A and B are shown apart, each in its own frame.
Chain A
């Protein structure tokens, strides 16, 4: 788990700060992006082990960014957790269709987020080994 890189994508500095706080006790390297376009670029160039992706953002939203990350050969296998204020079924379904691996709802529950992050990063470690 040591040194795993996580890309945090949100236009809200409040959420980015919260996510950093929640993940600060685990040995992750955290990088950030503030919209979908930047997320796509950094997903390809930085090769993070996991992406936390907000749904509603300026310029390009999370669903489209997720779809485009999946279409890019360089980033298609990176697990993506969608972070959404909309927990209703239709919205979650759209997330699955765009290719996300999992999702969490806002306000972020720290225990839930940590469990999902640890679980997905453990999975990627097993695949890599």
Chain B
């Protein structure tokens, strides 16, 4: 009987020890879970911070990309203007200046139809050079001198979408005297519309082609008198 009591007592004691052990283990696990949860919260916070930073960097990156593209575009525009100016003033020979005007219109503006008129000693506009046009087009479609007289007061731009034959008339003027005009007709087929740089090139032609042509005529006269 006493052996039976002792056995039960031992069993209870073992059970209590076992339960105590389980409770301690449970306590440890709870503490570990709490630490893990804390770490998880910290990690989530860090993840959120990194995501926000990533978005900031992406926005910044996009801004730099846009700035880079803008700078490349500006650089290209400046190159266009520099090259055009350089070519116009490379020579004082009239033919070379007219070739430079033609190259600028064809290669930098993008039209394979142009005509350059100069005012002669009789004060009449005379066709100096044309490219990609025949006389019939000059005289009947556009009206040649008529266009220069009527439109020579400045740039006239037609709606390029409608593919009007005359895209621009650039007045060539030295001080107050109009010495000629550059007529730019159709743009190339793949060029949908004039770009901002084209207007700057028109302005550049208006000033620099005028001066270059004027200098070439002075040079020609000086050569004759010499």
Contacts and interface: CB of A to CB of B under 8 A. Distances in A.
Interface of A: 12-15, 17-18, 21-22, 25, 85-88, 105-107, 109-111, 114
B69 A107 contact: no
Contact of A110 (B79, B86, B107, B109): B79
Interface residues of B, number: 25
Contacts, number: 65
A15 B107 contact: yes
Given A87-B189, A87-B190, A105-B190, A111 B72 contact: yes
Contacts of A13: 87, 103
A113 B163 CA distance: 27
B73 interface: yes
A88 B190 CA distance: 7
A32 to B, nearest CB: 15
B188 A12 contact: no
Contacts of A110: 72-73, 75-76, 79
A29 to B, nearest CB: 19
A22 B104 CA distance: 16
A116 to B, nearest CB: 14
Given A14-B103, A110-B72, 19 more contacts: A14-B83, A14-B107, A14-B108, A17-B86, A18-B79, A21-B79, A25-B75, A86-B189, A86-B190, A88-B189, A105-B188, A105-B190, A106-B106, A107-B108, A107-B110, A109-B76, A110-B76, A110-B79, A111-B76
Contacts of B79: 18, 21-22, 110
Interface of B: 69, 72-73, 75-76, 79-80, 82-84, 86-87, 100, 103-104, 106-110, 112, 188-191
B189 A18 contact: no
B107 A18 contact: yes
11 contacts: A12-B103, A14-B100, A17-B83, A18-B108, A85-B107, A87-B189, A107-B110, A109-B76, A110-B73, A111-B73, A111-B76
Nearest to B198: A107
Contacts of B112: 85
